[in-house]
Amino acid sequence: MPTKLGKHTLRLDSAPSVLSFAAVASKKEGEGPLGQKFDILNEDTSFGQQSWEKAESQMQKLCASKALEKANLSPDSVDFMFAGDLLNQCIGSNYGLRDLSIPFLGLYGACSTMAESLALSSMFLEGGLANVCLAVTSSHFCSAERQFRFPLEYGGTRTPTSQWTVTGSGSAVVGKNTAPPYVKAVCVGTIEDLGIKDLNNMGAAMAPAAAKTIETFFEDTCTGADNYDLILTGDLGQVGTDLLHQLLARDGVTLGHKHNDCGLIIYDRQNQLDINAGGSGCGCSAVVLCADVLPKLRTGELHDVLFIATGALMSPTSVQQGESIPGIAHLVYLSSEPGRKGVL
Amino acid sequence: MPTKLGKHTLRLDSAPSVLSFAAVASKKEGEGPLGQKFDILNEDTSFGQQSWEKAESQMQKLCASKALEKANLSPDSVDFMFAGDLLNQCIGSNYGLRDLSIPFLGLYGACSTMAESLALSSMFLEGGLANVCLAVTSSHFCSAERQFRFPLEYGGTRTPTSQWTVTGSGSAVVGKNTAPPYVKAVCVGTIEDLGIKDLNNMGAAMAPAAAKTIETFFEDTCTGADNYDLILTGDLGQVGTDLLHQLLARDGVTLGHKHNDCGLIIYDRQNQLDINAGGSGCGCSAVVLCADVLPKLRTGELHDVLFIATGALMSPTSVQQGESIPGIAHLVYLSSEPGRKGVL
Would you state the pLDDT for residue A153? 84
Q: How many domains does chain B have?
A: 2
**A-B contacts at Cβ under 8 angstroms:** 171
Query: Do residues A120 and A242 share a domain?
Result: no
Element (H, E) at A249: helix A237-250
Range of the domain at A160: 16-175
* Residues on chain B touching A133 (C-beta within 8 angstroms): none
* Residues on chain B touching A206 (C-beta within 8 angstroms): none
Query: Do residues A197 and A164 share a domain?
Result: no
Sign of torsion over alpha carbons A17, A23, A29, A30: positive
The segments of chain A whose pLDDT lies below 50 read: none
In a domain, B2, yes or no: no
Residue B158 burial class via C-beta count within 10 angstroms: exposed 0-12, middle 13-18, buried 19 and up: middle
In a domain, B8, yes or no: no
Q: Do B188 and A104 touch (CB under 8 A)?
A: yes
Q: Do B91 and A316 touch (CB under 8 A)?
A: no
Query: Do residues A30 and A152 share a domain?
Result: yes
How far is the C-alpha of B178 from the C-alpha of B133, rounded, in Å? 15
- State which amino acid sits at residue B34: L
CA distance B271 to chain A (A): 33
Query: Do residues A323 and A289 share a domain?
Result: yes
* Residues on chain B touching A124 (C-beta within 8 angstroms): 123, 127
Would you state the pLDDT for residue B340? 64
Q: Do A91 and B191 touch (CB under 8 A)?
A: no
Q: Do A107 and B108 touch (CB under 8 A)?
A: yes
- State which amino acid sits at residue A288: V
Query: Do residues B287 and B231 share a domain?
Result: yes
What is the CB neighbour count within 10 angstroms for residue A260?
16
Q: Do A101 and B190 touch (CB under 8 A)?
A: yes
Do B335 and B182 meet the contact criterion of CB atoms below 8 Å apart? yes
Nearest CA in chain B to A324: B95
SS3 assignment, position B234? coil
Tell me which residue of B75, B93, B185 sits closest to B132, measured CA to CA. B75
How far is the C-alpha of A105 from the C-alpha of A125, rounded, in Å? 15
> Which domain-ending residue is among B175, B196, B214?
B175
How far is the C-alpha of B85 from the C-alpha of B91, rounded, in Å? 8
CA distance B167 to chain A (A): 19
Do B152 and B188 meet the contact criterion of CB atoms below 8 Å apart? no
> For an interface test with B, which of A7, A94, A325 has the most B Cβ atoms less than 10 Å from its Cβ?
A94
Q: Which of B91, B98, B317 sits opposite A53 (nearest CB)?
A: B317
Q: Across the strands, what pairs with B232?
A: B260, B307
Query: Do residues B329 and B187 share a domain?
Result: yes
Query: Do residues A137 and A192 share a domain?
Result: no
Query: Do residues A158 and A238 share a domain?
Result: no
Show Cβ contacts of residue B30 under 8 Å, excluding neighbours closer than 6 positions: B38, B41, B43
How far is the C-alpha of A188 from the C-alpha of A119, rounded, in Å? 8
User: Can you list the positions of beta strands (E) in A274-317?
Assistant: 279-280, 304-312
Residue A189 sits at the vertex; the CA angle it makes with A184 and A191, to the nearest 5 degrees, is 175
Helices (H), chain B: 27-30, 52-70, 91-96, 113-126, 141-148, 202-221, 237-250, 262-265, 282-288, 294-299, 316-320
In a domain, B26, yes or no: yes
Query: Do residues A188 and A273 share a domain?
Result: yes
Q: Do A87 and B123 touch (CB under 8 A)?
A: no
Nearest CA in chain A to B106: A108
> Which domain-ending residue is among B175, B201, B223?
B175
Q: Which of A101, A107, A321 sits opposite B107 (nearest CB)?
A: A107
Q: Do B190 and A51 touch (CB under 8 A)?
A: no
Query: Do residues B168 and B207 share a domain?
Result: no
How far is the C-alpha of B59 from the C-alpha of A34, rounded, in Å? 45
CA Rg value for chain A: 18
Q: Do A188 and B317 touch (CB under 8 A)?
A: no
In a domain, A342, yes or no: no
SS3 assignment, position B253? coil
Would you state the pLDDT for residue A341? 60
> Which domain-ending residue is among B175, B205, B240?
B175
Q: Do A188 and B105 touch (CB under 8 A)?
A: yes
Instruction: Please give the DSSP secondary-structure letter assigned to residue B344.
Output: -
Query: Do residues B125 and B59 share a domain?
Result: yes
Would you state the pLDDT for residue A159? 87
Q: Which of B1, B106, B129 sits opposite A123 (nearest CB)?
A: B129
Q: Do A193 and B98 touch (CB under 8 A)?
A: yes
* Exposure b/e, A117-139, CB count within 10 A at least 16 = b: bbbbbbbbbbbbbbbbbbbbbbb
Q: Which of B53, B90, B326 sits opposite A321 (nearest CB)?
A: B53
In a domain, A6, yes or no: no
Nearest CA in chain B to A113: B106
* Residues on chain A touching B97 (C-beta within 8 angstroms): 191
Query: Do residues B21 and B167 share a domain?
Result: yes
Do A307 and A117 meet the contact criterion of CB atoms below 8 Å apart? no
Q: How far is CA B10 from the centre of its chain?
A: 19
How far is the C-alpha of A211 from the C-alpha of A218, rounded, in Å? 11
> For an interface test with A, which of B53, B91, B120 has the most A Cβ atoms less than 10 Å from its Cβ?
B91
In a domain, A151, yes or no: yes
Q: Is the interface score ipTM higher than 0.90?
A: yes
CA distance B309 to chain A (A): 13
The segments of chain B whose pLDDT lies below 70 read: 339-342
In a domain, B147, yes or no: yes
Q: Do A124 and B127 touch (CB under 8 A)?
A: yes
Nearest CA in chain A to B122: A129
CATH number at residue A107: 3.40.47.40
pLDDT digits (tens, 9 = 90+) for A270-293: 999 899 999 999 999 999 999 999
In a domain, A307, yes or no: yes
pLDDT digits (tens, 9 = 90+) for B212-253: 999 999 999 999 999 999 999 999 999 999 999 999 999 999
* Residues on chain A touching B126 (C-beta within 8 angstroms): 127, 129
